[in-house]
Amino acid sequence: MARSLKAAGYECTVFDKAPSAGGLWVENYHGSGIQAPKEMYEFPDFEWSEAKKGSFPSTKEVKKYIEGFVENFQLSPLLRLNTAVAKVSLPENKQGWNFHLQHPSGSKTEHFDYAVVASGMYSQTKNMPRLRGAQEFESAGKKILHSSEYLTDELAKGKKVVVLGCGKSAIDIVTDTAKVSDRSTLLFRNAHWGVPQKLAGLIPFQDIFCSRFGQFLVNAYVGELPNSCTTFSSPWQQPLLSNIFTPIFKAVELLFKFQLQQTGSYEPKVDLVEDLYGYAQILSSEFKQMRKFDQIDTVHGRIHKLSSEGIRLQSGETLPCDVLICATGFSKTYDYLPKEIQEGLDIEKDGLWLYRHCIPPSIPNLAFCGSEIATISNITTHGLQAEWITAILQGKVTLPNQTDMMDEIKDTKEWKRSWMPLTSSRANLVLLHQIQYHDQLLADMQLNNKRKQMKTSGFAGTLKEYLEPYLSKDYNNIITSS
């Protein structure tokens, strides 16, 4: 966001309570890293040259890459680090925003014309379950941690560790603890589908699911992103296509089940595509191998209570446990905004609903960049959103009237709720529909969305456009000054 605004000639200040740039990558759980290959996780116009092709860099490597981006585009003068935004308020004349800031040297208030929330999807309040017997458990010298507090494997060394959850962070952590612990167990209520980094051990997942062909498969199965500028079928064709493609996706489920050994109590009981839109996770074979060789236990169950002996399950079974790590995610808060602004936002139990995942129709001079969106190529999507928001400020993109924006949000809301599982982030989920979403942003900016055909003409260009995966580099030369 700062890069786009700077390139367009706007004065911009970035407030961050962390000591350095990088968001959650400044400090994340031990063993964490990106789950998309580096080619899918690059800023537009800034190649990740130090990372190997097809690699899945660690948190430290991501942080270094982001710092390189800051240096390359000379953004450091725009950053106010170690500065928390306690709240944002409306001035008496209702023009712009007052930022109430907290810094180690003191508090102050500054005025700005426009506010962009770019705090990410996962940087808010820790979700911690309320567990009976927690005091007795900890009084016995045992520990209860949130996944974000697992910063070193020293916490697990020689211990009996139980990781609560079945998402990507839970699997990352239990795989990490199993290398040093006395015993590591993954305890979960519901198993979720994993996607292999390489399908059948040969084809990188993005070659299928991140191409326009893959987009067509997903669209045929669950429908198209509403109000998209690129469509693959008419409304009457979609139910027919869904029936045709159902056995194809069931075959994909069998492949994933076999490849990742998701059997027995660890076998998901839900549809693959629906589950990915609630709990997407791209997995290496390491977790499967460690389960195969009895280095990790997987237990399907619910906690009844904690005690000095460990974890008592509702089934009556007791799991010995010295360290309980709750990989139970985060919940978002908008308490930094005035109450009248919060009431004007479309915040529901499944998330914050925005026009193009950026603009609250009834609130002027406020946008969200990268905070209410989840795609496979998050960092690329954020770059496109940043340029789209900047184009609005420049007058290059004209927003529809409030009624039309609300109508589009309503269409998207109805479509998502018709098939996506209920999660607190359902409003934000785009994931495998990311190409269509990117097309929307580019069309709004009157830019060519057929990025591959721009570079290669003729039949070869058509093949590349529809069969090759869309990578971050395909969106180079979009930012204002490029």
Domain ranges of the chain: 2-124+332-447, 125-192+281-330
Supply the DSSP symbol for 122. S
CA distances from 271 to 216, 236, 254, 384 (A): 18, 23, 12, 31
Residue 378 reports pLDDT greater than 60 = yes
Check if the beta carbon of residue 279 is closer than 8 Å to that of residue 251: no
So what's the pLDDT on residue 120?
Answer: 87
Residue 123 reports pLDDT greater than 70 = no
Check if the beta carbon of residue 98 is closer than 8 Å to that of residue 91: yes
Residue with tokens 């064709």: 237
So what's the pLDDT on residue 236?
Answer: 62
Q: Which of 127-131, 154-158, 215-219 has the highest mean pLDDT?
A: 154-158
Mean pLDDT for the stretch of residues 104-116: 96
Residue 480 reports pLDDT greater than 80 = no
So what's the pLDDT on residue 242?
Answer: 83
Q: Which residues contact 426 (CB under 8 A, 6 or more apart)?
A: 277, 278, 350, 351, 416, 417, 420
Select 125-192+281-330's CATH number: 3.40.50.2000, 1.20.1250.20, 3.50.50.60, 3.40.50.1220: 3.50.50.60
Q: Which residues contact 381 (CB under 8 A, 6 or more apart)?
A: 370, 373, 375, 430, 434, 437, 438
Residue 161 reports pLDDT greater than 60 = yes
Mean pLDDT for the stretch of residues 182-187: 97
Residue with more model confidence, 87 or 243:
87
Mean pLDDT for the stretch of residues 335-342: 93
pLDDT level of residue 482 (50, 70, 90 thresholds): very low
Q: Which residues contact 335 (CB under 8 A, 6 or more apart)?
A: 87, 342
pLDDT level of residue 377 (50, 70, 90 thresholds): very high
Mean pLDDT for the stretch of residues 303-313: 96
Residue 362 reports pLDDT greater than 70 = yes
So what's the pLDDT on residue 235?
Answer: 63
Residue 267 reports pLDDT greater than 50 = yes
Tell me whether the CATH fold assigned to 2-124+332-447 matches the one assigned to 125-192+281-330: yes
Mean pLDDT for the stretch of residues 379-389: 96
So what's the pLDDT on residue 244?
Answer: 86
Least confident window among 3-12, 56-65, 321-330, 471-480: 471-480
Residue with tokens 């942003």: 441
Residue 169 reports pLDDT greater than 70 = yes
The rounded mean pLDDT for the chain is 93
pLDDT level of residue 481 (50, 70, 90 thresholds): very low
Residue 316 reports pLDDT greater than 50 = yes
- Which CATH architecture describes the domain 2-124+332-447? 3-Layer(bba) Sandwich (3.50)
DSSP string covering 172-192, please? HHHHHHTTTSSEEEEEESS--
So what's the pLDDT on residue 232?
Answer: 64
CA distances from 405 to 127, 143, 395, 402, 410 (A): 32, 48, 17, 5, 9
Query: What is the pTM (predicted TM-score) of this model?
Result: 0.94
